[in-house]
């Protein structure tokens, strides 16, 4: 049996730290095969590696300070000082994927937003079979120009497949044009089924969108919003969004017209979810992130250390 030998090899390698040569002899195969078997074992999630903050030490480091400031669990990812934002995204996504793999188990429901960040995370997931679990899309994804559904749909599908979970898509646009349409659609059974599932989410996974971005987030670039809408948002003091629901830097999100047409859960709705994992990379996202944290959308924050530093600085420099 394929996996059986991989398990033996992985056990001998990681738990008993034998060299691959010894394992090869035991299993009567070549050393290279053992190398491949162990790689396989890692890929299918048979091997789980966790690195934990040493418990001691006076909360002087970024992680503890973030935790103390915002009442969240912070996972600060070390990155090289001069790495590009894309590299950082990759690193942070790798860590987030690992964490998700540890937290998500059988019979759970995972809610995911869609976007560059979540997509990067999906790319780093390591196969981990579960049973009876579900992956549900948190916000709509079709826009006026392209259906956009393929993208979000592939993403959800890939994540679900990774966990052997069933996937639940959300067949609505990111924003409705008219609030009334939303009200009506929300009564459709095809939609309300998804909404029901969203209420059962155990872990939510999302990034934040930044309105102020030099490189605009997917939501703003791909024709989801008109110029007119963008202007209105700016005038309202909006800095970004979480799951297509916009907010200001102080964490408020009321009286923002477009939110009545948005399809994702509001911060208030999100807060009903036990574990809410927010993954962020990029200094330009700091104001949006600050607002998101003040709206208490996250219980866990995964970010690179430079962004973390900037976030803390801005949070303490301009207390809301």
Partner DNA sequence: GCGGGTCCTGCACGTATGTGCAGGATGCTT
Partner DNA sequence: AAGCATCCTGCACATACGTGCAGGACCCGC
Q: Which residues form the interface with a copy of itself (CB under 8 A)? A: 1, 3-4, 6-8, 10-12, 14-17, 22, 25-26, 41, 44, 46-57, 61, 77-81, 91, 94-95, 98, 129, 131
Q: Determine the size of the site formed for DNA (CB under 7 A).
A: 14
Give the integer Cα–Cα distance in Å for 257 and 259.
5
Residue 61 binds which entry of DNA, a copy of itself, none, CB below 5-8 Å type-dependent? a copy of itself
Contact stretch for DNA (CB under 7 A) within 25-33, 254-262, 265-273, 283-291:
25-33
Q: Which two tokens stand for residue 61?
A: 């480091």
Q: Which two tokens stand for residue 202?
A: 């155990």
Q: Which is nearer to DNA, 79 or 109 (CB)?
A: 79
Of residues 50, 56, 23, the one with CA closest to residue 38 = 23
Q: Which is nearer to DNA, 21 or 177 (CB)?
A: 21
Longest dimension (CA), the chain: 70
Element (H, E) at 96: helix 85-103
Q: Which is nearer to DNA, 13 or 246 (CB)?
A: 13
Can residue 29 be called a binding residue for DNA (CB under 7 A)?
yes
CB of 12 to DNA, least distance (A): 10
Secondary structure of residue 229 in the 3-state scheme: helix
- 216 forms beta bridges with none
Q: Which is nearer to DNA, 48 or 200 (CB)?
A: 48
Of residues 89, 90, 130, 92, the one with CA closest to residue 300 = 92
Can residue 13 be called a binding residue for DNA (CB under 7 A)?
yes
Q: Which is nearer to a copy of itself, 1 or 235 (CB)?
A: 1
Strand order in the sheet with 209-210: 209-210, 238-242, 245-248
């Amino acid at each position: 049996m394929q996996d059986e030998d991989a398990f033996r090899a992985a056990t001998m390698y990681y738990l008993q730290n034998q060299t691959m040569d010894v394992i090869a002899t035991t299993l009567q195969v070549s050393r290279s095969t053992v190398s491949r078997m162990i790689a396989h074992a890692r890929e299918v999630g048979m091997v789980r590696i966790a690195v934990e903050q040493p418990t001691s030490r006076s909360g002087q480091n970024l992680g503890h300070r973030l935790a103390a400031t915002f009442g969240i669990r912070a996972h600060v990812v070390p990155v090289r000082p001069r790495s590009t934002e894309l590299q950082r995204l990759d690193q942070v996504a790798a860590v987030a994927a690992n964490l998700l793999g540890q937290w998500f188990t059988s019979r759970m429901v995972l809610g995911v937003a869609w976007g560059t960040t979540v997509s990067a995370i999906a790319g780093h997931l390591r196969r981990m079979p579960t049973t009876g679990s579900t992956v549900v899309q948190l916000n709509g994804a079709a826009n006026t120009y392209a259906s956009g559904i393929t993208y979000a749909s592939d993403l959800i599908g890939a994540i679900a497949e990774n966990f052997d979970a069933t996937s639940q898509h959300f067949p609505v646009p990111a924003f409705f044009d008219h609030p009334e349409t939303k009200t009506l659609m929300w009564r459709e059974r095809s939609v309300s089924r998804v909404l029901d599932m969203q209420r059962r989410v155990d872990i939510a996974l999302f990034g934040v969108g930044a309105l102020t971005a030099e490189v605009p987030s997917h939501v703003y670039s791909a024709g989801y919003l008109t110029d007119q809408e963008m202007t209105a948002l700016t005038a309202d003091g909006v800095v970004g969004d979480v799951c297509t629901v916009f907010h200001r830097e102080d964490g408020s999100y009321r009286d923002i017209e477009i939110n009545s047409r948005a399809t994702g859960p509001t911060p208030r709705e999100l807060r009903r979810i036990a574990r809410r994992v927010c993954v962020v990379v990029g200094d330009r996202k700091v104001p949006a992130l600050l607002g998101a944290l003040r709206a208490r959308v996250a219980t866990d924050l995964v970010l690179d250390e430079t962004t973390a530093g900037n976030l803390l600085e801005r949070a303490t420099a301009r207390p809301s």
